[in-house]
Amino acid sequence: MASLCTYNTLIMNLRRYNIYFNTHTISGIIICAILYVIFFAGSFSFFKNEINAWQKNESDKGETYRNIVFDHLLDSIGQIKELKGRDITFYMQHNGHSSYVNIGESQDTLVANKAKAVAEQKQLAEKKRLATENKGAAVKDAKAKDEKKKRRGRGRRGNDDSMYFSYDLATKKPSDYSDGYTMGEFLYRLHFLAPLNQIGINIGRPFGYTLAGLVSFIFLFALISGLMLHWDKIKSNFFVFRPGNKWKTVWTDMHTALGVIGFPYQFMYALTGIVLIVNSVLIIPFSKYLYDGKEDEVYAALGYNDNTKYTYLYEPLTAPFKMGDFLDKLESKWPNSHMNRIFIKNYGDKSMHVVALYDADIDKNFAGSGRLIYRVADEKILFEKSATANGSYLDYMKGFIYRLHLADFGGYPVKIIYFVLGIMGCFVIISGILIWLVARDKNNIPKRKRIFNFWAANVFMASCLTMFPITAMSFIAVKLATKVDQSFIFHVYFYSWLALAVFYVIRRNIAKTNLETLLLGSILSLAIPMVNGIKTGNWIWETYRSGANDILLVDLLWLSLGIIGLLIFKKMLQKTRKENANGKTDSSDDNAAGRTTGTASPMPLKSAFALKNKPATKY
């Protein structure tokens, strides 16, 4: 009986192990390439503001502004567009002195009809131009311009009567979202796959956001199953790393050790990523059954926006509204907080309301948020909730999730730690792909499956590893270019990435893919501070002396990546030469990932990660 119980226990343990193993393997290999993009781009997006300052050569040395600048901005806009009856929104950026400005259509029918007439006149003039010029080229140009007008920065759509742009309150410089696009913004939005929203796949929700949320959800399964898989040996293997052993052992140790060390970070990111990205999907049932399908009301209840509609009265205010004075009074009322968003409803009308959303300063309240609703006509506060007191469960949960995900609560030390942990996640993904390939290149595996496994790993590795040199090259390109906008960054980054990835896929040599992308990325990384110094005069010692810490950080970051990359390349090359000199021959478990050619005759040894050939399948 005792032996039977022991046997049953072993069977159950084996069954449980197989469940964990298959769940971890399948979920990991499905999402590996996309997850690598998320981790790699996300690691750089922690320094979004610093990258923006580096690209524009404008250090943010605690830039400040006076609230009266809002009045100047509104006056300037009023000279080119009638603001009466419009909803105006200010979305403050993380640097604290820049804002996205969104101006909607007017509620006043006279203003709206006038704008409509102007738009019709423009269309008529455009038609006349098409009739007199080269029709084919003109039509193409008109369509391109029309598409640009329809796209409001982050995919917002509107017409000629609305506006969306970015405005620096400190320098008083406006810029169209596309024209003011930066590498920092690009990498930040790439890490949740926002560019995929523009490819036209209609699933009822933004495709890129949904895909990023789905990957985060599957990643959560891969993390938990991976931890359970190594649970029995987690203590004994935690500090085990054998870089002198054969490459399969190095991959396994890297995957296990870095995976366990970075587990809390990766788990946190998977969980917060699901909440932040998939919230639009999770909101669907709530909006359908609790809010009668009105999703805007759900977002308003969560504090993301304010879509309250106030009846337009067609009566002008008796006295002009001074937004600067209003914000000055609000800041004196809430001294330990900062602006998040400002919603102006029915501008200039007697029904005008101002909704202010403020966040508490991190050092005063980790997750507080405040809200004030102000009626302008009689200067009455209809609702007030301080950002530093009486925090609700929703306030703390939202703030906690955002703080953990954005790493904006501890300055540069926390951001650097997050960056290192993010890059460690990239190493875990790469080592996992190689382990997966090696484990499935055995003689008992059918030839067609081994071919598929190799090509899958080849495509994954080429797509992932080329991100390093392409990102470094893009930084150099935006620094050297005379005009940089969203289109320029998209073309430079994605076309170069596609070309380099296809080259290494066709080459079919994972060994050289790994070595050459590491070497190329390291050289380009070292070139970035030099290009910045030559182009702008902001050498590392100059930025250090002038206190331009944000620009200095970006140069030092790339300099560090270049030096570390070259050191790793040197060690790998030494190990490769040593193994080739000793004529090492690995077992069948260690010879798949580096297969590069299509002959059935014995191949010379190929080692970068000791990826070897064997006389086997034609690829």
Place 16 in a pLDDT band, splitting at 50, 70 and 90.
confident
Higher pLDDT, 371 or 616: 371
Give mean pLDDT, residues 540-559.
Answer: 93
What are the distances in angstroms from CA 399 to CA 7, 89, 249, 331, 410? 51, 21, 42, 20, 14
* 228-241 confidence digits (pLDDT tens): 877 766 666 666 66
Res 572: pLDDT: 83
DSSP 8-state symbol, 61: S
Res 292: pLDDT: 58
Res 569: pLDDT: 92
Distance CA 53, CA 47 (A): 10
Residue 143: pLDDT over 60:
no
Higher pLDDT, 114 or 403: 403
Residue 156: pLDDT over 60:
no
Res 523: pLDDT: 97
Res 592: pLDDT: 46
DSSP H helix total and E strand total for the chain: 22, 10
* 186-232 confidence digits (pLDDT tens): 999 999 998 998 887 777 778 888 888 889 888 988 888 888 877 76
* 430-467 confidence digits (pLDDT tens): 988 888 888 777 788 888 888 898 999 999 999 999 99
DSSP 8-state symbol, 164: E
Higher pLDDT, 241 or 163: 163
Comparing 42-51, 150-159, 263-272, the range with the smallest average pLDDT is: 150-159
Res 516: pLDDT: 94
Distance CA 434, CA 457 (A): 7
Per the document, the length of the chain is: 619
Residue 141: pLDDT over 80:
no
Res 133: pLDDT: 62
Res 155: pLDDT: 41
Higher pLDDT, 386 or 95: 386
What are the distances in angstroms from CA 180 to CA 50, 64, 452, 483, 488? 15, 20, 43, 10, 11
Percent of the chain scored above 70 by pLDDT?
A: 76
Give mean pLDDT, residues 39-51.
Answer: 93
Residue 117: pLDDT over 90:
no
Res 449: pLDDT: 86
Residue 60, number of CB atoms within 10 A of its CB: 20
CB of 563 closer than 8 Å to CB of 557: no
Structure tokens at 86: 């419009």
Res 312: pLDDT: 87
Q: Which H or E run contains 505?
A: helix 496-507
Comparing 92-101, 350-359, 420-429, 514-523, the range with the smallest average pLDDT is: 92-101
Res 519: pLDDT: 96
Residue 264: pLDDT over 80:
yes
Q: Give the pairing of strands 98-103 and 369-375.
A: unpaired
* 566-615 confidence digits (pLDDT tens): 999 998 888 777 767 766 444 444 444 444 333 333 333 333 343 433 43
Residue 5, number of CB atoms within 10 A of its CB: 9
Q: Closest Cα to residue 248, out of 591, 19, 528?
A: 591
Comparing 274-278, 297-301, 340-344, 360-364, the range with the smallest average pLDDT is: 297-301
Q: Which residues have a Cβ under 8 Å from the Cβ of 105 and sit 6 or more positions away?
A: 86, 112, 115, 158, 159, 161, 162
Res 616: pLDDT: 36
Distance CA 217, CA 221 (A): 7
Percent of the chain scored above 90 by pLDDT?
A: 28
How confident is the prediction for the chain on average, in pLDDT? Answer: 79
Residue 482: pLDDT over 70:
yes
Q: Which residues have a Cβ under 8 Å from the Cβ of 76 and sit 6 or more positions away?
A: none
Collapsing DSSP to helix, strand or coil, 341 comes out as strand
Res 287: pLDDT: 52
